[in-house]
């Protein structure tokens, strides 16, 4: 199995691995095969099927949910493929922020019932998956998901603008937008795999926001560390290491070491915020507390699973051009 070559800053044990044991779903092969079959049916695979299998997106889902029903883990894995398809679309050359905005406007219209027959093939795929899960989720959850997905599009369009202008953003602007470009809606989708949603009032608390941000930032910053060689090679500026090096006026290696330290600090903050949230939520009924516990366990597991996935995945290995998801309706 090919492994990603991690930067020198990642040479020691990755801090987030301590957050959860290395366990994978017993039916991970079935989940992986099901996801690959679905992606082929949706015309999301490139002409090189082996290249699509290389990143092993379903393995991340199988590590996140080792005990969940396999069909729901497969559904989450499909959304992971969609996430990376959206990312790859936004990174096509030449950068086109307007095209990203247009795609997400069409997706939002489809998800809110204003356009039940999207024209863009990728928007149709998002709409089809949405229909399969929206019927069993609350209106509050659906509003949160659509809002977060729309912000994902706004952040990707902003990044496309940076690439178009070959401009390095300010550190403050980057930190505000990075959680959204990292796909916060995927954190919402965790609740679709578990039997029950987190009670809506809990999701409005600062403790919940800090916990989900910590989990998100750990994965975003790890992603930026492992994708640094690729992004530096193509002169991208929407990478935390590159933005931090620019802000500190230092070399990438020094900035990468700082990011690694910040991940370690975020791991501790995640554990502290999880404890604080549970303390604040002791008044919940037993069913609400179970839902919260299931989700916070996965928020912790996600960070560790993502670290293990980037080590075993081929998405960031080797070549600068690692786009392996075909855009449906377009030539591969």
The residues facing 45 across adjacent strands are 325
Top pLDDT among 94 and 255 is at 255
What was the pLDDT predicted at 323? 41
pLDDT value at 253 more than 70: yes
Q: For the domain 8-19+28-312, what is the CATH superfamily, name and number?
A: Farnesyl Diphosphate Synthase (1.10.600.10)
> Chain-wide mean pLDDT for the chain?
89
How large is the average pLDDT for residues 80-97? 90
Query: Token pair of 111, please?
Result: 């998800």
pLDDT value at 330 more than 50: no
Give Cα 207 to chain centroid, integer Å.
21
3-class DSSP assignment, residue 325:
strand
Count Cβ atoms within 10 A of the Cβ of residue 235 and give its class: 0-12 exposed, 13-18 middle, 19 or more buried: exposed
What was the pLDDT predicted at 49? 55
Lowest mean pLDDT among 22-26, 56-60, 68-72: 56-60
pLDDT value at 315 more than 90: no
Delimit the domains of the chain by residue range: 8-19+28-312
The residues facing 325 across adjacent strands are 45
What does each C-alpha distance from 191 to 98, 121, 182, 196 come to in angstroms? 32, 26, 18, 7
Tens-place pLDDT, residues 104-157: 999 999 999 988 889 999 999 999 999 998 889 999 999 999 999 999 999 999
How large is the average pLDDT for residues 93-101? 91
What was the pLDDT predicted at 2? 36
What was the pLDDT predicted at 1? 33
What does each C-alpha distance from 268 to 7, 52, 193, 259 come to in angstroms? 22, 35, 26, 15
Lowest mean pLDDT among 31-35, 90-94, 202-206: 90-94
Tens-place pLDDT, residues 184-229: 999 999 999 999 999 999 999 999 999 999 999 999 999 999 999 9
φ/ψ region of 166 (left if φ > 0, alpha if ψ in -120 to 50, else beta) reads: left
Query: Token pair of 313, please?
Result: 């995945």
What percent of the chain clears pLDDT 90, i.e. is strictly above it? Answer: 75
Q: By C-alpha distance, which of 175, 260, 174 is closest to 213?
A: 175
């Amino acid at each position: 199995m090919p492994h990603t070559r991690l930067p020198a800053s990642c040479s020691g044990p990755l801090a987030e691995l301590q957050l959860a044991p290395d366990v994978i779903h017993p039916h991970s092969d079935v989940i992986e095969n099901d996801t690959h079959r679905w992606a082929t049916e949706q015309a999301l695979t490139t002409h090189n099927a082996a290249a699509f299998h290389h990143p092993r997106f379903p393995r991340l889902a199988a590590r996140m949910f080792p005990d969940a029903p396999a069909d729901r883990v497969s559904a989450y894995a499909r959304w992971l493929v969609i996430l990376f398809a959206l990312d790859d679309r936004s990174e096509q050359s030449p950068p086109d922020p307007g095209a990203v905005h247009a795609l997400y406007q069409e997706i939002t219209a489809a998800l809110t019932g204003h356009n039940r027959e999207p024209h863009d093939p990728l928007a149709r795929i998002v709409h089809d998956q949405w229909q399969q899960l929206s019927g069993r989720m609350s209106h509050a959850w659906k509003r949160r998901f659509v809002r977060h997905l729309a912000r994902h599009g706004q952040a990707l369009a902003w990044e496309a603008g940076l690439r178009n202008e070959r401009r390095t953003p300010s550190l403050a602007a980057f930190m505000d937008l990075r959680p959204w470009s990292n796909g916060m809606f995927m954190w919402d989708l965790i609740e679709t795999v578990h039997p029950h949603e987190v009670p809506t009032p809990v999701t409005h608390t600062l403790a919940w926001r800090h916990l989900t941000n910590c989990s998100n930032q750990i994965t975003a910053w790890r992603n930026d560390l492992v994708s640094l060689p690729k992004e530096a090679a193509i002169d991208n500026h929407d990478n935390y290491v590159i933005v931090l090096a620019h802000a500190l006026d230092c070399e990438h290696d020094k900035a990468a070491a700082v990011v690694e330290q910040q991940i370690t600090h975020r791991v501790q903050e995640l554990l502290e915020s999880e404890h604080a949230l549970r303390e604040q939520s002791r008044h919940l009924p037993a069913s609400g507390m179970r839902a919260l516990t299931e989700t916070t366990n996965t928020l912790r597991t996600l960070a560790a699973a993502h670290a293990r996935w980037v080590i075993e995945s081929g998405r960031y290995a080797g070549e600068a051009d690692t786009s392996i998801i075909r855009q449906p309706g377009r030539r591969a």
